[in-house]
Structure 1
């Protein structure tokens, strides 16, 4: 029986490259060519400062090379947990690079907020996120070939801590805004009201639904999808923003000096957003483990 199981594992591990992995390699090649085209002076005029991604064009080209190389290496060594984790890290890197997609969503759904809508940049960012999805799905496929994944019978304490950290981050962000005032140049229009309502739902209601019993009354996808999307998006966008702030401070430059708010506001608000995003992502992962079906 033991020999049969070993043989079965080896057959599963040596399965040929599936369509998802092939798609990931194809995406890396196609998107890499596009980034080379942009890097050689053919990029369109982006509406957001800095371009369509939060990394330079040649860095994005290198990211495409690393993406394809990691998938191919994993195909040659399908039982390598190190390569699986590396592929997850590469996918997360693309999500961070395309973090401006969060503004695309907000600006597209709520145009009254005054966020510029850059459809060319949005298409490029969606392509990057699509590649991240292919890379993540590839990593998940190879991980599942190694056997059943981890599952939990109850929400772990670290997920509860993550949920309350998200709530705390949201409340700290609101407190920082209260100090400088809630006045906006757009008035109390419908888009602003909807944004503020969604802000509270994502910052207070959603994290707690993920870790407490009342969340069981909702369909799994209704909590899992927004939890993962918002948790990853907020962490990526404001995590990169925090790194930019630190770099500016080291160079003696003001942070977001063109916005007209004191630096102290950003040193409170941006880390609070990061706390919110990370906490929400942690709570969502705990919810995922708790509600996944046994293999």
Structure 2
């Protein structure tokens, strides 16, 4: 796994240097393909390569989270690919570049996991609290939309909007419920873990970066989220609500992972000894 991280860091770092020297594509989404400058990304690749010399799981997890946050626009790529009628521009080169960053995050996370001790299951109330926060975040976001009106949604396409809103509500209500309720145990494990972790991490990373940008814009006296026809107050409510939603969903998914994982050999030995 260390070798895989070094190979990725060398290849992706070379790509970031190539982009930094004036060879980047014309990205369709605002800004660059990542939410950090190319030279910062290149330095991040160097740090990732050096981090495998002496493995500190916490540092590797921090680097993995950083790369995931930098590729936060991938969430828009997925929405644009599944629901093209929303009017969100789909940028294949940008998506592939962001997937490269996510690949590095996965490798770093796997290396960190391989070098850390087995995590103990959480008390049941922790994932329940996470699921409750996810639902609260989703409902807060919906309440903010109700206040400004649904006619202010910056999307096109009636059917796509209906599908998007349907998935939106399910991911904020039904999915958290299934992650912490016994009914969820009857579903295939991947069917809940994949959207739980993907949506949770993606929403948290994307909107955390967005909140940082909002704060920076506010300090400079600029509109907090650009000129999209919505009041700043809407974003000060909606964006933190998204972060709470995503973080809660991630915690609930982690709790579900603990609750449904197969017992390790050491755990089996301990159960036999206790008998």
TM-score band, normalised by the shorter chain? over 0.9
1:257 aligns to 2:226 (yes or no): yes
* C-alpha distance in structure 1 between counterparts of 2:230 and 2:83, whole Å: 23
1:281 corresponds, among 235, 238, 250, to: 250
Instruction: Look up the match of 1:112.
Output: 85
State the 1:23 CA deviation: 1.1
Normalising by structure 2, we get a TM-score of: 0.92
CA contact (8 A) 1:151 1:294 kept: no
How many residue pairs were aligned?
263
Show the counterpart of 1:128: 101
Report the Cα offset of residue 189 of structure 1.
2.2
- Any conservation in 2 of the 1:211–1:287 contact (CA below 8 Å)? yes
User: Which residue of structure 2 aligns with residue 23 of structure 1?
Assistant: 4
Q: Are the counterparts in 1 of residues 34 and 73 from structure 2 also a CA contact under 8 Å?
A: yes
* Residue 204 of structure 1 pairs with residue 173 of structure 2: yes
Counterpart position of 1:13: none
Q: 2:133 matched to which residue of 1?
A: 165
Which aligned pairs between 1:71-110 and structure 2 lie closer than 5 A?
Answer: 71-74=52-55, 83-110=56-83
Residues 261-285 of structure 1: per-residue CA shift (max 9 Å, x gap): 1000000100110010011011111
Q: Distance in 1 between matches of 2:98 and 2:170?
A: 26
Partner of residue 219, structure 1? 188
**What displacement does 1:257 show?**
3.1
Distance 1:291 1:116, change over 3 A: same
Unaligned 5+ runs, structure 2: 265-275
Closer/same/farther in 2, CA of residues 227 and 185 from structure 1, 3 Å limit? closer
Q: Are residues 61 and 156 of structure 1, via their aligned partners in 2, closer, same or farther at CA, if it must alter by over 3 Å?
A: same
The Cα of 1:141 is off from its aligned counterpart by 1.7
Partner residue, 1:12: none
2:31 to 44, 50, 57: 50
Name the structure 2 match of 1:64.
Answer: 45
Q: Deviations 1:164-218 (Å, cap 9, x if unpaired)?
A: 1100100010111111111246566221111111101110100111111111111
In structure 2, the partner of 1:7 is none
Equivalences for 1:175-190 in 2 at 5 Å? Answer: 175-183=143-151, 184=153, 189-190=158-159
**Consecutive unaligned residues in structure 1, runs of 5 or more:** 1-19, 75-82
Which structure 1 residue ranges, 4+ long, deviate > 3 Å from structure 2? 184-188
Q: Tell whether the 8 Å contact from 2:86 to 2:157 is kept in structure 1 after alignment.
A: no
- Check conservation: 1:52, 1:124, Cα contact below 8 A: yes
Single out whichever of 112-121 and 178-187 deviates more from structure 2: 178-187
Relative to the length of structure 1, the TM-score reads 0.86
- Corresponding residue for residue 267 of structure 2: none
Deviation track 1:79-127 (CA, whole Å, cap 9, x = no partner) reads xxxx111101101110000000000000001000000011110110011
Following the alignment from structure 1 to structure 2, what is the Cα–Cα distance between the partners of residues 256 and 246?
A: 10
